[in-house]
Amino acid sequence: MSRIDELAMSITRHAPESGIAGTAVPRLSLIRADRPTEPVPSVYEASLCLIAQGSKRVSLGDHSVIYDASRYLLVSVDLPLVGHVIDASAQRPYLCCKIDLDLAALADLMLTEDVRGPKADLPVLAVYPGDPDLTDAACRLVNLLDRPESIATLAPLIEREILYRLLTGPHGPMLRHMATADSHLGQVSRAIARIRSGYQETLRIDEIAAAAGMSTSSLHAHFKAVTRMTPLEYQKHLRLQEARRLMLTQGASAGTAGFAVGYDSQSQFSREYSRLFGAPPRRDIERLQAAPDYVGAI
């Protein structure tokens, strides 16, 4: 049995139903879909996504990539993506493991292991040919779910191996650039973290720029170059995604959800929600509740 087939079996065992499942292994999620899904906007963390079965398309603005069991996806910073499963069925479901990148561990690895090489502004959303070593490590990480007593000891070691293989692979220059505090990508990452930590608050661009260590003009230019959005548009996506989650998982009304994420005007909330998700809040939630294979953009 190939390692990719073993990975598919492990994901099937621990994700028996459609959806996104968090796991006992930190930063590891499993995703399953039993049918193709509609395009769904979502903002999520820098991560490595390895598909064991099926395929998916993800888009950032007008840039789209497709990945499957022969190609893995690497996202270098938190990005607002639109994604949908394009190959899945009840007999052969879409199966994916997502490993969020621990940027502190990445920076530490660069120092302690002396992982060197040029830094480069490569795409922050890209696919790469399958790597047997990465697949093997991911398979061992998922298999730890069968031995929960080993997770605390072995998961950090396997995760470090995965980060090492990423740093020494074709995307290493981008990751080294990302992990360098004074790089533009590192500065944009800090701006994103600041926006995400206070997305309900009024956006003060001078405070975001200061947190990133940039001028306001430089922040606008580099932020949009990385995310295809302005800081304000990025915050809007965060607010609307959280409002959608509150309505879908907690039964909040549109008015309650809009107010909770920082909207003072119900009409503005409904208008911007419809523009992003293609339908007013109530209709959109009813549509999602009728679609059991909703799995976001991952």
For 109-151, write each residue's pLDDT tens digit: 877 766 555 555 557 788 999 999 999 999 999 999 999 999 9
Whether the predicted pLDDT of 277 surpasses 80: yes
d(CA 53, CA 97): 10
Whether the predicted pLDDT of 270 surpasses 70: yes
Residue whose structure tokens are 């990975």:
7
121 vs 213, residue with greater confidence: 213
The pLDDT of 145-173, averaged and rounded, is: 92
Q: In the structure, what pLDDT confidence band is assigned to residue 180 with cuts at 50, 70 and 90?
A: low
Whether the predicted pLDDT of 11 surpasses 70: yes
125-129 and 71-75 strand pairing = antiparallel
Q: In the structure, what pLDDT confidence band is assigned to residue 181 with cuts at 50, 70 and 90?
A: low
* Best CA proximity match to 224, nearest among 192, 270, 196: 192
Query: Which pTM does this prediction carry?
Result: 0.84
